[in-house]
């Protein structure tokens, strides 16, 4: 029969895992805020960040379409 790990030890292990996940989560969100040029996790909500990302992607897609249209109209390769 295997020795069972006491509940207190399992709880400490779970808390350590959770703390690691939280730290990684904060780090990733911090990198995303930095990438988007927002003021950071404290100053910008997740919803605001998502809206900002959507607006940025829309602008980029529109600009790509505009440039592709210009290249097609000119018949140039764009290089």
- Give 12-71 pLDDT, tens digit per residue: 999 999 999 999 998 988 888 888 887 655 677 888 888 989 999 999 999 999 999 887
The pLDDT of residue 22 is: 95
Backbone angles phi, psi at 38, to 5 degrees: -90, 170
DSSP state of 75: T
Two tokens, residue 54: 């959507």
CA pair distance 36, 51, nearest whole angstrom: 11
């Amino acid at each position: 029969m295997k020795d069972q790990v006491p509940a207190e030890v399992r709880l400490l292990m779970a808390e350590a895992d959770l703390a690691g996940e939280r730290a990684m989560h904060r780090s990733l969100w911090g990198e995303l805020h930095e990438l988007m040029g927002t003021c950071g996790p404290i100053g910008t909500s997740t919803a605001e960040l998502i809206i900002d990302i959507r607006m940025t992607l829309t602008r980029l897609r529109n600009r790509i379409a505009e440039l592709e249209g210009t290249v097609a109209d000119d018949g140039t390769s764009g290089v």
